[in-house]
């Protein structure tokens, strides 16, 4: 697609991430965590929000296992493909009806996760920033400009690893839609131009190994009337 917003020329700010925003992914995470929740989905529950530091941004498609003093921090790094929102205007509290006006563009990202580190931290009720916020853990594509009044519910995200399809999802399957997320984040934390919102991953998360090639794609159905099916993609390699 032409006229994309180049990820390499934008000054990014805060990185907000949404946990368990697809029902089937919430179920697979509950299995990994060994819990059986009373309610898996409740529209009245607030979004699960965590953050990554700005140093987590990776624009060159390189996935690296983090190391501390020569020791790898994890033995089980996983991919999570996500639709990413680029905030275009600052807000300290926008209405849900006006929320989409604060989105400058949308792209695709990879929220790389040290799953063993995360699960171990959750088990003893520790914070799990290390499992999500390490350097190069937030890979992003270029961004499709957005200036519409309705976010496309049939926007699809898919991820292939070494040519095999592993994740598929669409906006209509989100528990908390983009407008709701922008509305919520603006009131609770405040949003600034250049902030990113990783909107959650669909089911199918899995482990990566050195040499793996990942390709995440955002597309619209062929009957959408928007011409080309593919809008933007992100290609990455585990080194």
Average pLDDT over the chain, rounded to an integer: 93
pTM: 0.93
For 212-231, the pLDDT digits (tens) are 999 999 999 876 555 558 99
Q: Is 76 in a helix, a strand, or coil?
A: coil
Q: What CATH number labels 7-238?
A: 3.90.850.10
pLDDT at 126: 87
Phi then psi for 40, rounded to 5 degrees? -80, -40
First to last CA, the chain: 28
- Name every residue whose Cβ is closer than 8 Å to that of residue 186 and which is 6 or more positions away in sequence: 91, 92, 93, 94, 99, 102
**Greatest CA span in the chain, whole angstroms?**
53
Please write the tens of the pLDDT for every residue from 34-46.
777 655 555 558 9
* pLDDT tens digits for range 124-148: 888 889 999 999 999 999 999 998 8
Domain ranges of the chain: 7-238
């Amino acid at each position: 697609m032409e006229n994309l917003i180049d990820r390499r020329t934008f000054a990014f700010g805060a990185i907000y991430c949404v946990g368990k925003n697809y029902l089937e992914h919430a179920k697979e995470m509950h299995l990994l965590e060994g819990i059986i929740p009373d309610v898996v989905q409740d529209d009245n529950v607030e979004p699960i929000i965590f953050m990554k530091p700005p140093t987590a941004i990776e624009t060159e498609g390189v996935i690296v296992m983090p190391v501390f003093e020569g020791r790898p921090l994890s033995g089980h790094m996983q991919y999570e493909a996500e639709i990413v929102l680029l905030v275009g205007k600052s807000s300290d509290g926008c209405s849900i009806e006006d929320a989409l006006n604060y989105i400058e563009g949308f792209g695709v990202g990879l929220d790389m996760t040290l799953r063993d580190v995360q699960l171990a931290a959750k088990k003893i009720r520790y914070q799990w920033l290390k499992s999500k916020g390490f350097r190069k853990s937030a890979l992003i594509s270029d961004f499709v400009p957005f200036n519409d009044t309705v976010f496309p519910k049939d926007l699809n995200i898919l991820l292939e690893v070494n040519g095999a399809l592993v994740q598929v999802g669409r906006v209509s399957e989100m528990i908390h839609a983009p407008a709701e997320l922008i509305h919520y984040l603006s009131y609770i934390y405040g949003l600034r131009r250049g902030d990113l919102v990783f909107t959650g991953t669909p089911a199918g998360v899995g482990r990566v190994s050195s040499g793996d090639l990942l390709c995440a794609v955002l597309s619209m159905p062929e009957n959408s009337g928007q011409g080309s099916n593919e809008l933007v993609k992100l290609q990455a390699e585990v080194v």
